[in-house]
């Protein structure tokens, strides 16, 4: 049940989008949303992010890199029979949203993501020439 998630990467210089599209993006971004819990791990070759997005199908998940911003947004689809009377509610919004500022050594063009059982896993490698190198300390 692991599915690859396409990632939209747009460089800052290609931000010549029509005003209407910009408006639509902004209104979608301002809709109330839950903050999904995340785990972020770093190893020598990059960063791995896990986010809990239960109920979000692949086609309702958006992962976007714009400049140094990584934005995750997903819409949960929970179908209950018509006329269901809620008696106890802990999750009261069908939308998750969270964004992060990437740091310079990460190579956002090589980002990959997959969604499995409601958990999004995003891998952002470091630029090859910036990967860990031990610095020899000169004595003298």
Partner 1 sequence: MVRTLFARSAPPEFTRDFLTEFDRLQRDLSRVFEPSPSIRGLARGGYPALNVGTTPTAVEIVAFAPGLDPASIAVDLDRGVLSLSGERAPVLPARSDEKTALHLNERFAGRFRRVVSLPDDIDPQGVAATYREGVLRITVPRRVAPQPRRIEVQ
In terms of phi and psi (left: phi > 0; alpha: psi -120 to 50; beta: otherwise), the region of 67 is left
Q: Which two tokens stand for residue 70?
A: 């990584």
Phi, psi of 131 (to 5 degrees): -70, 155
What SS3 string covers 108-121?
A: HHHCEEEEECCEEE
Q: How many residues bind partner 1 (CB under 8 A)?
A: 48
Give dist(CA 54, CA 50) in Å, integer: 12
How far apart are CB 4 and partner 1 at their closest, in Å? 15
Examine residue 108 and tell whether it contacts partner 1 (CB under 8 A).
Answer: no
When binding is defined by CB under 8 A, the residue of 38, 95, 114, 123 that contacts partner 1 is 38
How far apart are CB 18 and partner 1 at their closest, in Å? 25
Nearer to partner 1, 90 or 140 (CB): 90
Examine residue 130 and tell whether it contacts partner 1 (CB under 8 A).
Answer: no
- The partner residues of 46 in beta bridges, in order of sequence, read 43, 125
Examine residue 52 and tell whether it contacts partner 1 (CB under 8 A).
Answer: yes
- Interacting residue ranges for partner 1, rule: CB under 8 A: 32, 34-35, 37-44, 47, 49-50, 52-57, 69-70, 76-78, 80-81, 83-91, 99-103, 106, 116-119, 124, 132
């Amino acid at each position: 049940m692991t599915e690859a998630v396409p990632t939209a990467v747009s460089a800052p210089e290609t931000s010549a989008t029509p005003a209407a599209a910009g408006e639509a993006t902004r209104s979608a971004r301002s809709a109330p949303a839950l903050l999904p819990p995340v785990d972020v791990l770093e190893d020598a070759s990059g960063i791995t992010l896990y986010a809990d997005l239960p109920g979000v199908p692949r086609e309702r998940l958006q992962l976007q890199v714009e400049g140094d911003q990584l934005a995750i947004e997903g819409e949960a689809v929970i179908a209950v029979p018509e006329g269901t009377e809620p008696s106890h509610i802990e999750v009261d919004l069908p939308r998750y949203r969270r964004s992060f500022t990437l740091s310079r050594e990460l190579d956002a063009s090589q980002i990959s993501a997959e969604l499995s059982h409601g958990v999004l896993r995003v891998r952002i490698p470091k630029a090859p020439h910036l990967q860990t190198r031990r610095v020899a300390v000169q004595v003298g």
